[in-house]
Every structure is written in C-alpha cells, then in structure tokens.
Amino acid sequence: MESIGDILGKRHDIRENFEKLVAEVLKNSDVQAFIAEHHMSSDEIQRSYSKFYEYVREKEKFELGEKRAADGYEPVLIMNHGYADVSYQTTAELAQQQAAQNLLRRVNVIGLPKELKQVTLADIALDDVQRIEPYQTLVDFITNYPERKGLYLYGDFGVGKSFMLAAMANELAKKGISTTLLHYPTFISDLDFDNAKVWVNEIKVSPVLVLDDIGAEQNNAWVRDSILQVILQHRMQENLPTFFTSNLKMDELEQHLAETRKAEEVWPAKRVMERIKYLAQEMRLEGENRRHD
C-alpha cells in the first residue's frame, strides 16, 4: 500500500492542493499564535497539519453557529507530546445550561406541581409577622445544614407550606444538596405490595426529605407501620433532615394515625409520632389561602 507521501510525490495536483490547504491553515491567527507560544519546530508543525486543519474547520463552524457533532463545546488547541491536538471545552452557555439542569435534578418532586422547582426564597410572602419565624427557621437550616433538625409545618389549607419548603429545597440545590419533595397522600395511593419496598428504600435515604400533606392520606396499619414507620426509623437512625407539612397539629396527626378500620391503635401511632418529634420541630404557618389568588 502506498503511503500518503508516495501519493503526493506522484500526484502533483494533489500535492499542490495539499500545500495550498496547509498554507491557508497556517495563516490562521490562532494557529500562528499557538505555534509562537509553544516555539514549535518545523517538524512539530508538520506533524500537526491535520490537527491545525481540524481546529480551523471546527472553529469556523462554531463561530458561525453551525450544527456540529460536538455542539456546545468549543475547539481549543493544545500540545500533546510534541504536536498540536484539538480539545473540546464546554462553552459558558452550555456550562450554564448544565448547571441549571443539575439544580433541577437535585430537587425531586413527586406528586406535586413541577413549577415548585422554580420557587425562590424571595417569592415567599412575609406580609404576616407570624410567617417570619418559620421563614427564618428555614434560612437557618439552609445556612447550617446539616446541623439543624427539620420542621413540622402545619397550618390551614393554601397558606403556602409546600411553597415555602420548595423554596428551601431549591436553595439547598444551589449548595449541591438534594431534596425529595413528596406529596404523601399521592405516594401512598400509588403504593402496592409489589413496589412498596423499592420506593421506601429510595425515599428513606434522600439527603433531605419533605413529606408533604401528611395526615391527608387514607390511613391503615400497613401504611403506618410498614411504610411511614420504616422511612422515619431509618432517617432517625441516620440523622437525615426530614420535613413535614400538614393541616393537622402533631397531636391531631397522632389521632389520625391511631384510627384504622380495625380499631384505635394508640401505641403504634405514638411510636410513629416519637420519630416525627425527634426529626422535626412543630411550627404553625399563618396566612390566608393564597391558592385563590
């Protein structure tokens, strides 16, 4: 098989085209600056022709905004063991997109509106002085994560409990901390004996967990003892931050958990509540129903 050098020696037309192409590539200001910066010898330059050509071609496409295989990555010349090579580096635009996607991935929303992933602390209404304490508690948790315990946030329907905790989750995401926001009644309604173990094992290990609207689910002994108790037991043992929202006070939730179709089961309910009280501080959120706005 003939080498490229042999072919160029025999075919003057090909050689002339090749030399013309090389001359054009070497006129490129980036290529000239690279050669000067690295004090490249004639031999090194010659061995770099193909990479210089690749760089010039891909750089032109990049600047024109043409579709490329390495979309979102900018070609950059580098030295690689004595000759030039082309590296593809993430553009600032792509880096911003990736950072935004990473933030979204750090907030896992289950059974709740996806718009909650866009909520910020600045969006929280502090028009009622009694809303300031829960807000400051969440800011303190974010600042001192993971040194603070969670919050059991209760209040009337629509006062912004889920909204406030979503803002916390999005702020934690900026610090690289993942949160699962789980609408508890929806989660329970979708469970069966086949998928329960998988879901419980995933949720119980979330770095930060929000069990939203607890107390609104259809309670039974299996849900309370094999689902909720297992999740809370693991999180208590591992000191994993856990938050709750509810329309019920803690003592009202205990009564709810004690009521099953069979009978009142006071002690199993108390065992669950012991774990909730260990994990979270009870606090009321005041305000008007903002879902009518």
| Mean predicted lDDT score pLDDT of the chain | 87
User: Whole-model pTM?
Assistant: 0.69
Amino acid 292: pLDDT? 57
- CA 73 – CA 95 distance, rounded (Å): 10
Domain ranges of the chain: 4-90, 97-292
Q: Which CATH superfamily is domain 97-292 in?
A: P-loop containing nucleotide triphosphate hydrolases (3.40.50.300)
| CB within 8 Å of 261: residues ≥ 6 apart | 220
Identity (one letter) of the amino acid at 133? E
- Ordered strands of the 242-246 beta sheet: 107-110, 179-183, 208-212, 242-246, 150-154, 280-284
Among 4-18, 148-162, 216-230, which is the least confidently predicted range? 4-18
Highest mean pLDDT (candidates 24-28, 72-76, 78-82, 246-250): 246-250
pLDDT tens-digit readout, 120-137:
999 999 988 999 999 999
Do residues 78 and 86 touch, judged by C-beta distance below 8 A?
Answer: yes
